Structure 1
């Protein structure tokens, strides 16, 4: 979904610094974990995991916007035995329900405040495994109002109607398992008047137009087939006075796609010219997206342009819907959703940043590579820059619970920053590899945020979780991933024959300044502590952003042991016996503990010696 006038705000930042021996360490926003638990479903009363729908067969007789009759047959499968089958269905009058061809009883449950609208079917006998439910219903479908005040469902247009589903509006005209985690195929057959108001009437939907035939002198049957499994929220149905553009598009990959676009006949000549211009860019956009996200996951392409006064464009499958406005960025956004959102879907609406943040980021990515505009990696830097908006960190991309926030900045703006941070960490080529693997491995399924983190780690060969989790959930400005340019100098000292105590951390330097100390492992295989001089060690590890390093350096000075004084007693004092060989280190983690311990022993030994002498004098 794209609001027609998105109010994307610039973000600001507060930088936290800490001083350690004159070294300033820029700390990223605090992250309490490097994993993200699946978010609670913000629509818990919608959808069910009791069964999985495999196919919807819809036969609709459309006479007018407020007068339809429908027979819908649902083919589904249940892993466990079900005494009742709970379908999402809002409004309309149900006449009959059968389960596996046998009449069933049914009841309705409605609680608008809980977004609960159920058709509860009780079959004559419990079902398990494969089963079918056929529902006959009629009436005037309605619109659905979301908690944020937006509308979807059966939306009147200038010459007919468009049925929009995101997030839950499909249940206003189709009894279904109305959740993004359940994907199915569809056959949609709509019989409609051939003309209304002396103008041709057309029916558009997702998938392929497989039939258009007259039923009688006044009616035409339109048949659409959706063979790619799709959640109900991304299905579209539109009836109206449309100019139909039908063509084929040959992609650079060699694939040939049928194109059906439907533009309301009520559009002005200027709007029709604009839409034609945008249609002309679909092929090049799909070509570019295939290089980033892999093969196009749809069956056909095109668009629907009408006036529904909903205030947004929507990524309806194969042909996105545009509500009286279209531009290049919005078209690219909605086409990106064919991969991110429609093919790889959030398991619940609480994880919608995965699709909306991704599509928002790809707007900037496309503008950079095709229009030579600003680098999309700058989005993350700007977010934590002086002109950024600190309020953006108040709501995490995952973990919010108010359904009215579904299409908020945390989904679009902050979500895009996560993708920007990822590209900062692995570069454009590494980013593309991750995204192609993401759609290949999870295409046709529904996912959670942790799936994305796991795949990013696997493909990059790095632990990116700590970095990305901060961008996803931190309530303070995160650190922008950068490449290491050097390390803070480190030195240590020891005496001949004694291996030094080595620092356990190093401080990487980035273009923006010193970063968070990182654990380090020193290569001491060839180190020689037997002669005075200096020994240079090389250290390796992984920085805060999950980037491996092998170029940390430590210079150890090996000194000869001090010669004993001629007047020194042959019997060592308690203090000298307790003194260890000395070691000092400066940098990310100064070796002050051994020095303090040595001083403590020295003072303690002196006290013991004085006490002993006093006791001898008394004796």
Structure 2
């Protein structure tokens, strides 16, 4: 029959059944999917949203598909303080001691990320006396369905809780044994002289109320009050009693009359509840210390049944003395020992407890034989795998159990700390000995849901085979990196199998999806991984040159336990293809895709090797660098030895390497510039100038200031082109004409022989038309500039033309012809002459005399008008087609501008489209005016 019980209590009236607020019926549990969604949504809410949210009922499940009704959501347990008082019954009826928990309290400190109207804990057996939340009485109800493995204590606090809160449950009664679906016993079990509490996978809920899921770790304090002495069930052998638990022994305090002793154990490390243990009985205690690899010294408390024989006690003591060596050896594989203490528990227990268990810090063993064999190493490995890093759900028990099975095999192998067979040989034989039709392969480790089969072949043997297969698949370095990083990254937490896959892929750089699916997620016998060692070699060791042929040989040696059938080796030939071409056709099994050459390794028996060759021919344009080829085993299970080749390519001179050219006048005082064009892209140049064929010291720039000493000799420049992968290459320019002497200094400091229109500007001074602009340098010396680019003012034009054309002795009129120029003004005489000579009519004004605007700059069209009036002879007819692109017939001063072109005074400004432009509205520069006047007079 289904054992289904609803027990309720009202803290204010223990005789009245409790109901939720508003008289509603007790809340039915949500479906698993709904509660998971609710819990997940609750966990991601920000703090400010959480306090504003409506209170909810915590979900009565942790979402574990193996135990859907065990574990709870809505809160995170932080710490448990468990206090019990246990006494043996006065009357004993058989060979095992019956006992009672006379009183007990469990205080859970937890954190709720969203306000909880109610929440649940797991608790099987005994009688609940009271429940308080944050010190206030709370309503509670027990909802039990034994067939569904459901033992819920539903708590409804007086007011909803949020953030950190405490719940204290008081209870008492006869402790119960939880029988698992596979028939094994856990929870409280009677022993020959006391009791023991074990809890894997879910029996710890028979010990005390809590959140019974490995996903919710916490710290613990166990305070256990027992008689100071105990006897066997038949009343014989009265002797000192003890309590053993997890963590560190804080105290053992006798009562005033010394008849009872209170033992306090504190577990400061994070611990899943299924790893807790409380042992009550007559024990011999072995207290010692262990020195760990990192220098820590931790206490060791070991407890062994005091009724064991002397020989058995000696065996156990010897094993305890080996703990330091074994632990330090395991630290070299898994990292620092995670606990703060260690030890073992060896107790005589009923046959239903036919297993050892990795209770945290000090594992439990039901016999001397179990602690004396590999089981001790198994349980010690569990201190890292299963205890320090725990599964989030019971489906992923395979991670820890598989490693704890593989670990002793590695420990005892020659590669570990013994001389036994390799783990590869051991687990291949194990895999190979079970036919594919065996039922052992029917349950995939990472998809199991049946609690009755939880401790089957798939959890231990197949999972240990998986760890070895993973080592073969990703190689020793990545494998042991995963083994260690699993602890370094996730120690003290609970982690899923998918995170193990992600870590293995990260550290190995391999895609393990298909491998994981085959070994962990899919029913059926998985494939044992192929294993090979690849190598790559070439037939050349010296430098290769253009046209040389290089032959490469790929080899694959089968170093595994099964024939090679699907392995692939790839070669990165990007460097080779940059300087050479792969010969076609390729050998069978080879394919080239871009810069990757792939080799499908042919069927190869164990211990045998296969080879294939390919060749490359160095390009005719290759120079320098290296031909590098790098082989990699693309499929799982491969390692590469001597898989990279590198051959130097002979360096050649750059080509083409044309002669450089030299620009600039070959004249002393001038600057010459070297230009190197047409060389390969990326070439850099160094320069050396020579005069008369002799290099000039220090003349190594792109430009060369021609010295006076070079007069009469030609100048050349030699460029040296350099580029990575090529030899330095030289080329020398044609010689210049013999260097001419530097011209004598001109009248103007800012006009040099290289200045545009320098000849015309210097003529202006020689002809007396321009004296320049007087200036004084920093030393007070007077000099003159011409300022070629400066715009010409109208008064300056008058001065220039007057000096060029006016008759000697010209006397300016006493009355100015222009309204804005008065007698006595600067250039008055010259401006008056412009009017009298008919060169300037002035600018009309609304009334009276015209203006001359002497300070205004003159435009190019106005200059054309002045020049036309000065020099044009009658009869010029402007052409119907303008010589300039920006001046049209009919435009103002069109005739005068056309005459400028016709008379050779202006060639215009070159345009890319054809006809030159004149820019009639632009200001006239002083250099352009010099050119116009020079051309007019020559």
What TM-score comes out, normalization by structure 1 length? Answer: 0.76
CA distance 1:68–1:336, shift in 2 (3 Å)? farther
* Structure-1 residue corresponding to 2:465: 417
2: CA distance between counterparts of 1:529 and 1:381? 41
Check if 1:320 corresponds to 2:363.
yes
* Structure-1 residue corresponding to 2:432: 385
CA distance 1:400–1:532, shift in 2 (3 Å)? closer
Answer whether contact 2:474 2:636 (CA < 8 A) is retained: no
* Structure-1 residue corresponding to 2:131: 97
Answer whether contact 2:534 2:569 (CA < 8 A) is retained: no
1: CA distance between counterparts of 2:409 and 2:177? 33
- Alignment counterpart, residue 57 of structure 1, candidates 81, 84, 95: 81
Q: Deviations over 1:102-155 (max 9, x none)?
A: 100111111111110011111011111111100000001100011111110001
Answer whether contact 1:214 1:221 (CA < 8 A) is retained: yes
Answer whether contact 1:245 1:260 (CA < 8 A) is retained: yes
* Structure-2 residue corresponding to 1:78: 112
Check if 1:124 corresponds to 2:158.
yes
1: CA distance between counterparts of 2:643 and 2:320? 52
CA distance 1:388–1:256, shift in 2 (3 Å)? farther
2: CA distance between counterparts of 1:383 and 1:265? 39
Greater CA drift, 383-392 or 285-294: 383-392
* Structure-1 residue corresponding to 2:565: 515
Alignment of 1:208-223 (within 5 A): 208-217=248-257, 218-223=259-264
Gaps of 5+ in 1: 1-37, 488-505, 554-619
1: CA distance between counterparts of 2:509 and 2:379? 31
Answer whether contact 1:380 1:480 (CA < 8 A) is retained: no
- Alignment counterpart, residue 525 of structure 1, candidates 555, 570, 578: 578
Greater CA drift, 196-205 or 468-477: 468-477
1: CA distance between counterparts of 2:644 and 2:302? 58
CA distance 1:548–1:431, shift in 2 (3 Å)? closer
* Structure-2 residue corresponding to 1:267: 308
For the residue of structure 2 that corresponds to 1:466, the secondary structure is helix
Greater CA drift, 539-548 or 196-205: 539-548
CA distance 1:477–1:55, shift in 2 (3 Å)? closer
* Structure-1 residue corresponding to 2:826: none
* Structure-2 residue corresponding to 1:284: 325
1: CA distance between counterparts of 2:262 and 2:433? 59
- Alignment counterpart, residue 493 of structure 2, candidates 420, 427, 445: 445
- Alignment counterpart, residue 195 of structure 1, candidates 229, 236, 241: 229
Answer whether contact 1:90 1:117 (CA < 8 A) is retained: yes
Check if 1:476 corresponds to 2:500.
no
Structure 1 residue 508, shift from structure 2 partner: 6.2
Structure 1 residue 434, shift from structure 2 partner: 1.8
Structure 1 residue 344, shift from structure 2 partner: 0.6
Alignment of 1:275-354 (within 5 A): 275-309=316-350, 310-325=353-368, 326=370, 327-354=372-399
Structure 1 residue 62, shift from structure 2 partner: 1.5
Q: Deviations over 1:52-93 (max 9, x none)?
A: 100001121122222331011100001111111100000110
Gaps of 5+ in 2: 1-61, 89-98, 232-237, 537-553, 587-613, 618-628, 646-938
Structure 1 residue 48, shift from structure 2 partner: 1.4
Answer whether contact 1:261 1:303 (CA < 8 A) is retained: yes
2: CA distance between counterparts of 1:470 and 1:111? 37
* Structure-2 residue corresponding to 1:231: 272
* Structure-2 residue corresponding to 1:169: 203
CA distance 1:535–1:127, shift in 2 (3 Å)? same
For the aligned residue pairs, the C-alpha RMSD in angstroms reads 2.7
* Structure-2 residue corresponding to 1:179: 213
For the residue of structure 2 that corresponds to 1:361, the secondary structure is helix
- Alignment counterpart, residue 483 of structure 2, candidates 430, 435, 439: 435
CA distance 1:214–1:543, shift in 2 (3 Å)? same
Check if 1:204 corresponds to 2:244.
yes
Answer whether contact 1:89 1:118 (CA < 8 A) is retained: yes
Check if 1:258 corresponds to 2:292.
no
Answer whether contact 2:475 2:637 (CA < 8 A) is retained: no
2: CA distance between counterparts of 1:376 and 1:143? 38
Structure 1 residue 40, shift from structure 2 partner: 5.5
Check if 1:400 corresponds to 2:483.
no
Answer whether contact 1:166 1:233 (CA < 8 A) is retained: yes
* Structure-2 residue corresponding to 1:113: 147
2: CA distance between counterparts of 1:179 and 1:438? 20
For the residue of structure 2 that corresponds to 1:315, the secondary structure is coil
Greater CA drift, 65-74 or 518-527: 518-527
For the residue of structure 2 that corresponds to 1:286, the secondary structure is helix
Alignment of 1:537-552 (within 5 A): 542-545=633-636, 547=638
Alignment of 1:356-371 (within 5 A): 356-368=401-413, 369-371=416-418
Answer whether contact 1:509 1:515 (CA < 8 A) is retained: no
Answer whether contact 1:208 1:224 (CA < 8 A) is retained: yes
* Structure-1 residue corresponding to 2:6: none
Greater CA drift, 513-522 or 224-233: 513-522
What TM-score comes out, normalization by structure 2 length? Answer: 0.51
Answer whether contact 1:508 1:543 (CA < 8 A) is retained: no
Q: Deviations over 1:206-229 (max 9, x none)?
A: 000011111221111111100001
Greater CA drift, 211-220 or 102-111: 211-220
Structure 1 residue 458, shift from structure 2 partner: 1.7
Answer whether contact 1:462 1:548 (CA < 8 A) is retained: no
- Alignment counterpart, residue 461 of structure 1, candidates 503, 506, 509: 509
Structure 1 residue 547, shift from structure 2 partner: 4.8
For the residue of structure 2 that corresponds to 1:44, the secondary structure is coil
Highest relative contact order (Cα 8 Å, sep 6+), 1 or 2?
A: 1
For the residue of structure 1 that corresponds to 2:178, the secondary structure is strand
Q: Deviations over 1:295-317 (max 9, x none)?
A: 11111111111111200000001
What is the aligned length? Answer: 498
* Structure-1 residue corresponding to 2:11: none
* Structure-2 residue corresponding to 1:587: none
Q: Over alpha carbons, which structure has the higher Rg?
A: 2
Structure 1 residue 430, shift from structure 2 partner: 3.8
Check if 1:48 corresponds to 2:72.
yes
For the residue of structure 1 that corresponds to 2:336, the secondary structure is coil
Q: Deviations over 1:521-564 (max 9, x none)?
A: 662333438999984496756532175769699xxxxxxxxxxx
Answer whether contact 1:462 1:547 (CA < 8 A) is retained: no
2: CA distance between counterparts of 1:62 and 1:89? 18
Alignment of 1:13-28 (within 5 A): none
1: CA distance between counterparts of 2:411 and 2:585? 60
- Alignment counterpart, residue 141 of structure 1, candidates 170, 175, 198: 175
